[in-house]
A and B are shown apart, each in its own frame.
Chain A
Amino acid sequence: MIRARGVSVDLGGKPVLRDVDLAVADGEWLSIVGPNGAGKTTLLRWLAGLTPGAGELVIADRPAGELRRRERARLVALVPQTPVVPEGVTVADYVLLGRTPHIRPLGAEGPQDLAAVHDALALLDLVPMAGRVVSSLSGGERQRVLIARALAQGAPIVLLDEPTTALDVGHQQQVLELVDELRRSRGLSVVSTMHDLTLAGQYADRLVLLDAGRVVVDGPADEVLTEEILARHYGANVRVIHDGGHPVVLPRRENREVAEP
């Protein structure tokens, strides 16, 4: 469970977030959506403790300010949008980095750490790739390795920053299905930022729409993904239809007169 109240963040003297409230229950998937520059990534970074700002944060019933960094890392894992992948590091070693908050500062990894790494690799079908170099993998494989690292971290709260941006539609679905399965089987709370509104509505239990640093709508996909709201906050001309119980956002283009040659 993670709960934020009154989050305000300024970056370079400019207000980026104002008075944002947000709560995610155990096992719930919340997706943060909003137009470019609305503050989605900043909010996620604030939740991860990477951006200073005002506001109260409670993580697993404890005020975030009381948590030491290692304790916090055992509760909250972040999957960044553009991770730094060191050259030459193998999949197994990269996923093992997720165990950092569990390994004593001067200690070495124990059997339980290797078991956690192995479990994460097995869940994501990465065991055959354990010895490969991460930087040589394709985008979809790399995203799975990142999620495996977050899983090995053993945190009940997972923050995903644009987890599907670099992927084709098939891999987008694979990654999101995977996150959804893990959420169900392990009771993870998931907070993601999402660019694709249709996918956000299909996978998340609840959407929070940010615009200019404020929460404008917070609710199930049906309440957030409406033609009026998307026109007002995205300036978008879209049609929202329903398919399989989920809203689908279709961009529209008005017919224009085409000049005869």
Chain B
Amino acid sequence: MTALTTAGEPGPLRTARLRAGWLGVGIAALVVAAGAGLLIGPVTIAPDDVVRLLLGLDTDLTTNQLNIVREIRLPRVVLGLLVGATLSAAGAGYQGVFRNPLADPYLLGAAAGAGLGVTLVIVRAAEGSGTPAAAPVAAFAGAMLAVALTYALGAAGSGRTSTASLILAGVAVTSFLTAAQTYVQQRNLDTVRQVYVWILGRLSTAGWSEVRLLLPYAVVCFAVLLSQRRTLDVLAVGDDEASTLGLHPQRSRLLIVVAASLGTAAAVSVSGLIAFVGIIVPHTVRLLAGVSHRVVVPLSMLFGGAFLVLADLLARTIASPAELPIGVVTAFFGAPFFVVVLRTSRRGVLS
């Protein structure tokens, strides 16, 4: 006889929670991705020097090498972690509140709305490099407008939002806002190149300005989504049952959608439109580590950050010295990877 708990005995009850093993894997992924992002590039820099630099110790690096790590690679890695974590957590939040596996910042029109907002800011702003400080605010306004429109259209007629009507509404809103964005872009040919480069998505930064711009919004988004991860699990049983369990589903949903849209908008405003991260990362986590949002939200942040940093590494090395748009890389490598996970997983989450 083994010492295993036998049926009927009051053994320890296994409820969903973030277990040390998965947390360790997530952190390891983050460290590996960040390490690769810092070490790989046209200029070779020894790993031990980078570690010493990060720890604030003396290094043998030249001023040039120091600048490359401090002002180019490090901010870029940090920005990648933040953008990836934000898009993935927001995706997990949207999928939870809309009880729809396909809900993500792109499908609901939030990204297109944010895109229109940022385009308007760029064409209004005079010649300038980097992201204007007004961009996240404009992106947030656009994103909220788009999600509200999608939700209202999806609910129109039936009074309830079904999966199909929500997706159709999202497609319609996205097309409309993208058309508006293209119109604004084409009317302002002097900034068309700037807008176009931004739309394709990129993490290229000059120093820390983008990180500083995104950080406060990302922190708010993370705090709200992490605090609401249990609520997301309750919302999964539908509004009626959630109400009888003591929740105010509409209030909770609004809070989560606002936080997810704020994060998406800020990420879009500094990095452009990077599709697919918000959908594949949470789903991969769900397939591997379980469906509870208590697990999905924090792990999506860790793996999303790691994924985007690695995608960015590929984007800047594969065709070096030219850079591919990072959105191309996330889709090109993300899609097949996602299919493999989906097919080999034994949990039929999407069935």
Contact = CB atoms under 8 A, between A and B. Distances in A.
Given A76-B244, A77-B244, A97 B13 contact: no
B291 interface: yes
Interface in A74-131: 74, 76-78, 80, 83-90, 92-93, 96-98, 100-101, 103, 105-106, 108-109, 114, 117-118, 121-122, 127-128, 130-131
Q: In the complex, which of the residues B11, B246, B291 has the most CB atoms of chain A within 10 Å of its own CB atom?
A: B246
Contacts of A77: 244
B14 interface: yes
A83 B290 CA distance: 21
B246 A122 contact: no
Contact of A69 (B13, B15, B247, B351): B247
B245 A101 contact: yes
A80 B351 contact: no
A48 B242 CA distance: 12
Interface of B: 7-11, 13-17, 99, 227, 230-231, 233-234, 236-238, 240-241, 243-248, 286, 290-292, 347-351
Contacts of B241: 78, 80, 83-84
Given A83-B241, A127-B7, A127-B8, A90 B246 contact: no
A236 B332 CA distance: 65
A108 B291 contact: no
A259 interface: no
Contact of A72 (B7, B246, B286): B246
B245 A97 contact: yes
Nearest to B242: A100
A49 interface: yes
Contacts of A87: 291, 348-351
A50 B233 contact: no
Given A86-B291, A88-B290, A153 B348 contact: no
Main secondary structure on B side of the interface with A: loop
Q: In the complex, which of the residues B234, B241, B286, B351 has the most CB atoms of chain A within 10 Å of its own CB atom?
A: B241
B14 A49 contact: no
Interface residues of A, number: 45
Nearest to A113: B15
A131 B15 CA distance: 8
A207 to B, nearest CB: 24
A48 B231 CA distance: 20
B235 to A, nearest CB: 9
A84 B246 contact: no
Nearest to A118: B13
B10 A122 contact: yes
Contacts of B234: 97, 100
Q: In the complex, which of the residues A85, A88, A96, A130 has the most CB atoms of chain B within 10 Å of its own CB atom?
A: A88
Given A88-B347, A96-B15, A69 B248 contact: yes
Contacts of A186: none
A128 B349 CA distance: 23
A90 to B, nearest CB: 7
A152 to B, nearest CB: 11
A73 interface: yes
Contacts of B230: 100, 103, 108
A86 B236 contact: yes
A184 interface: no
